[in-house]
Amino acid sequence: MMIVPSLSTLASTYLFFLSLISLCLAGSPSPLPGPSLQDSVCLRIAHSISPASEVFYPGESLYEKGIFHWASSSTQQSKCVVEAGTPSDVGIILVILGQTRTPFAVKSGGHATNPGFSSTSDIHISLYRFSEVNYNSTSNTADVGTGLIWDDVYAALESFGVNVLGGRVSGIGVGGFLLGGGYSWMTNQYGLAIDNVVAFELVQPNGKTVIVTNSSDPELFFGLKGGMNNFGIVTKFTLKTHPQSLVWGGSILNLESTLSDVEAATIAFQAAVTDPKAGLIMTYNYVPSIQQILINQLMFYDGPTPPAGIFDTLLAIPATSSDVSTRSMLSLVRASPSNGTDGARAVFQGYPIASLTSSISAVIVNETRFWGTALANKSAVTVSYAMELFLPSIYSHNPDNTAFPPSRNLFFQPFDLEFDVDFHAAARASSAHIREAAIGEGQSELVDAPIYPNYAISGTPLADMYGGNVPALQALKRRIDPQNVMGLAGGWKF
Ligand SMILES: Cc1cc2nc3c(=O)[nH]c(=O)nc-3n(C[C@H](O)[C@H](O)[C@H](O)COP(=O)(O)OP(=O)(O)OC[C@H]3O[C@@H](n4cnc5c(N)ncnc54)[C@H](O)[C@@H]3O)c2cc1C
Ligand SMILES: *[C@@H]1O[C@H](CO)[C@@H](O)[C@H](O)[C@H]1NC(C)=O
Ligand SMILES: *[C@@H]1O[C@H](CO)[C@@H](O)[C@H](O)[C@H]1NC(C)=O
Ligand SMILES: *[C@@H]1O[C@H](CO)[C@@H](O)[C@H](O)[C@H]1NC(C)=O
Ligand SMILES: *[C@@H]1O[C@H](CO)[C@@H](O)[C@H](O)[C@H]1NC(C)=O
Ligand SMILES: *[C@@H]1O[C@H](CO)[C@@H](O)[C@H](O)[C@H]1NC(C)=O
């Protein structure tokens, strides 16, 4: 996760730099088609859906919103945008796409950093209209529409004093996050976000809507928990809720001069902190314009004040900007500067790490500096390494198997790096280098550790994410989608 400073002179240089990137690299829109050029499949969909759904063409503002992605490199100009409004319309659309064998995309929040995963040059389905949040205080669950971003879900649940497991920064979509796994600020307490899904409202590739639960279809329930868009389009999730008070935390920015103190404090945090309410993401960002590593810390405590001793060492390090306070969950995720890179070109790659030791920390610092300087002159690149620290018990909160992770006995933390999308090979090489270094120093279990599908760079083999679950997921895919309709959409394909 790329982090942008919000204060200080250095930070403004950096922001200026980033806006230059966006100006230079933003794609130019394609010419507007006249009505006669409107695609026949777009027209057929427009004539078949109910008034709850609509089709938009280039030049219309809801077309632009429909194809928008967090990373500009993930946005493509489609022939039209279909804003689906009901599950039955989604079914009608899927049947037309299947019959005409038309490539398409499904987008929720548009945070995919692999080009083509939620974008297309053909038919683009946007899910924004699935935007309801309904809390049921009897069952302690909330129904959450798949077109929302987590900010809106947190806002809707705030007045009930409850929350669900969602994104840790602003703007992430409900859909992709939940179908891939979902590492939340509450993961230390309650597991992955998918461990807290009670039911999926799924429009199957045959156009029929089903409610998938552990008892209705255990295999499909397993497959949807990590299996992304292989089994149809999810329109609603029923999620377990948990009590939510005010939280504590926010974002801190440190200069490279503090790096050794930050490294030591981060390693000490991981070694000592066992309180499941505490969370920390440490990100090293190489900033070419100032030729140094800027450090961003995201801190979290699930309560108004953290107990003494948890964050004190980190807080004592001189910061160039700091926005840490007691606040609502919504305020906390919105404090993160990750939105500042909206529109940048970016690709993620995950690198599982069991334990952040001082030697692995040194390797990560070296990678940040090495690739930051090596790529600096090639384009205005983003080079960023995030260390997402979690407790070893995070996969123990769910007794059932899920598509991801393939094993619940193997602990790994989903560290990730972010490069400019042009540097795929470098991103792969760097992640492989760090993993090999960790295995080399004795973290031998990492040989089998999966890469989180929501962070994995395109081209990653299925087995590297889903391990021994691949055959079961492929068999399930053949049962649910015998015509391979979902194969017409991008993403990880079983
Ligand atoms: C700034 C940033 C911060 C992030 N932070 C976190 C984090 O804290 N924790 C974490 O776990 N991950 C995080 N991620 C990764 C994030 O979970 C994935 O990018 C996720 O896929 C985004 O979901 P989305 O709906 O926004 O993306 P989209 O691009 O809309 O979709 C991603 C994929 O899911 C499919 N999909 C989406 N909705 C549906 C649906 N309803 N039915 C079927 N298929 C669907 C799409 O077709 C696509 O293949 C972060 C990513 C970014 C860019
Ligand atoms: C809330 O949950 C209870 C218990 O599962 C159920 O009986 C009730 O119908 C639900 N209410 C609504 C409005 O769905
Ligand atoms: C982040 O971006 C999303 C999507 O554009 C937007 O809805 C959200 O309000 C933004 N958050 C902040 C804090 O600006
Ligand atoms: C799911 O069903 C299986 C049996 O099919 C059962 O063992 C398991 O406990 C169930 N899980 C949940 C969360 O209900
Ligand atoms: C730094 O990283 C680069 C790229 O992985 C590697 O070639 C180099 O040997 C590393 N340097 C040190 C001192 O580890
Ligand atoms: C980048 O360009 C600057 C000026 O053009 C040059 O001084 C520097 O050596 C270059 N750095 C790399 C890593 O190529």
Q: Which of 108, 81, 91 is nearest to 174 (CA)?
A: 108
Q: How far is the CA of 230 from the centre of ligand 1 (A)?
A: 14
CATH 3.50.7.10 is right for the domain spanning 2-25+246-461: no
**pTM given for the model:** 0.93
35-126 and 133-244+472-481: identical CATH topology: yes
Yes or no: say if 67 and 124 are a contact pair by the CB < 8 Å rule.
Answer: yes
Q: Is the peptide bond before 304 cis (omega within 30 degrees of 0)?
A: no
| Strand-pair category, 242-243 with 278-287 | unpaired
pLDDT tens for each residue of 59-82: 999 999 999 999 999 999 999 999
Residue 209 backbone dihedrals phi, psi, to 5 degrees = -95, 130
**CATH classification of 133-244+472-481, choosing from 3.30.465.10, 3.40.250.10, 3.40.50.880, 3.40.1190.20?**
3.30.465.10
Q: Which of 400, 401, 402, 408 to mutate to test the pocket of ligand 4 (most atoms within 8 A of CB)?
A: 400
The protein residue with its alpha carbon nearest to ligand 6, atom 1, reads: 377
Q: What is the CA radius of gyration of the chain?
A: 22
Residue 475 backbone dihedrals phi, psi, to 5 degrees = -65, -40
pLDDT tens for each residue of 89-126: 999 999 999 999 999 999 999 999 999 999 999 999 99
Yes or no: say if 136 and 231 are a contact pair by the CB < 8 Å rule.
Answer: no
Contact residues for 421 (Cβ-Cβ < 8 A; gap 6+) = 71, 73, 113, 115, 345, 346, 347
The DSSP call for residue 27 is P
CATH code: domain 35-126 is 3.30.465.10
| 216 CB near ligand 4 (under 6 Å) | no
Dist CA 380 CA 358 (whole Å): 30
What residue segments make up the domains of the chain, in order of their start?
A: 2-25+246-461, 35-126, 133-244+472-481
Give the number of whichever ligand sits closest to the CA of residue 399. Answer: 4
Query: Helices in 106-193 by DSSP H: which ranges?
Result: 150-158, 174-180, 187-190
Dihedral of CA atoms 157, 391, 226, 442 in degrees, nearest 10, equals 160
- What per-residue confidence (pLDDT) applies to 379? 62
pLDDT tens for each residue of 249-299: 999 999 999 999 999 999 999 999 999 999 999 999 999 888 999 999 999
**First-to-last C-alpha distance (Å) of the chain:** 27
Confidence of residue 19 (pLDDT cuts 50, 70, 90): very low
